[in-house]
Structure 1
Amino acid sequence: MVKYEEFVRANERAEELSSRVPRAITARYDRRLRRVVVQLSSNLGIFFSPADAEGLEQASPEQLDDIEISPSGYGLHFPKIDADLYLPSLLEGVFGSERWMASRMGMKGGLSTSPAKGNAARENGKKGGRPRKSEA
């Protein structure tokens, strides 16, 4: 059971959030741009690629066509794939859980190229290359 003080604090946090973070007014998937487009209460809008958001990476355009906005205006729900995104996090550039974001950063780092990385790979090759994995 929620205590009255917790209820009051939760309402205060919600009021503070609504005073500084815009809410979603409309949300749709634009097939031409291949982006989710969100119109905000601040008269600004954001758009992002589903490939960059946890839970939407493999979604088809048909699965992205239906987007529900939570009553608070801070949640986006994709019912056809049961995925949810939190608008304040999206506005801060967070498109998934901490673990998911870290894996995406690691993947991008591994795909990056630079002269230093190329030189290191060549030096490693002179030493026989990457050590073979030992049998467990």
Structure 2
Amino acid sequence: MAMTDDDIKQAEARMAAERSHAHATAARYNRRNNRVIVSLHTGLELALPPHLVEGLADATPDALSEIEISPSGLGLRWPQLDADLYVPAFLEGQFGSKAWMARQLGAAGGKSRSPAKSNAARANGLKGGRPRKKQG
């Protein structure tokens, strides 16, 4: 498939539009603080704990130290872990896939303790608790 001048101009325009987003210029792992430090083109540096990012929770310091930045600066990659982080999503507070994020939120919600949750659990217990699953 041959590329035309118009194809190249469209690709350059798409790249310029993507470059308008914040992008990473450097990334490193700080062993002492157990944080991934991401430097953005704006001069802002952000630190995040690895356990918040999908695929990094159980990683060794050596694996976390090897970080690649995509040519556009929009992606971070940990090749030893086969894990990726999209920088614009990271800035919006998304540290993994939708399914992974939903599991994290569900786990946090299940651990929460509030008077309302305690009262509901007591009320359900007085009704005989959770119904048993029927053997199919």
- TM-score (normalizing by structure 1): 0.88
User: What is the Cα deviation at residue 14 of structure 1?
Assistant: 2.0
Say whether 1:26 aligns with 2:26: yes
For 1:67, the equivalent position in structure 2 comes to 67
Partner of 2:12: 11
Cross-structure match for 2:132? 132
5 Å-filtered alignment, 1:111-126, equals 111-126=111-126
Whether 2:112 is the aligned partner of 1:102: answer: no
> Displacement, 1:15?
0.7
The percent of aligned pairs where both chains have the same amino acid is 50
Of residues 4-13 and 123-132 in structure 1, the stretch that sits farther from structure 2 once superposed is 4-13
| Amino acid across the alignment from 2:95 | F
- Counterpart amino acid of 2:59? A
1:11 alignment partner AA: E
Tell me which moved more, 121-130 or 7-16: 7-16
Task: Provide the secondary structure at the position in 1 that maps to 2:17.
Answer: helix
- Aligned equivalents of 1:68, 1:16: Cα separation in 2: 22
Partner of 1:101, secondary structure, is helix
Q: Distance in 1 between matches of 2:32 and 2:120?
A: 42
Stretches of structure 1 that go unaligned for 5 or more consecutive residues are: none
Alpha carbons of structure 1 residues 40 and 126: separation in structure 2 relative to 1, 3 Å: same
| Cα deviation 1:14-54 (Å, max 9, x = unaligned) | 212212x2221111111121111011110001111111111
2:50 maps to amino acid: P
Runs of 4+ in 1 over 3 A off after TM superposition: 1-10
Alpha-carbon distance in 1 for matches of 2:131, 2:2: 57
Code of the aligned partner of 1:119: N
Residue aligned with 2:36, SS: strand
* Mean Cα deviation higher: 23-32 or 113-122: 23-32
The aligned residue for residue 36 of structure 1 is 36
Report the Cα offset of residue 134 of structure 1. 2.1
Q: Could you say if the C-alpha distance between residues 7 and 98 of structure 1 is closer, same or farther in structure 2, counting changes exceeding 3 Å?
A: farther
Q: Give the superposition deviation at 1:89.
A: 0.9
Q: Compute the RMSD of aligned alpha carbons.
A: 1.8
Q: Which runs of 5+ in 2 are unaligned?
A: none
Tell me how many residue pairs correspond in the alignment: 135
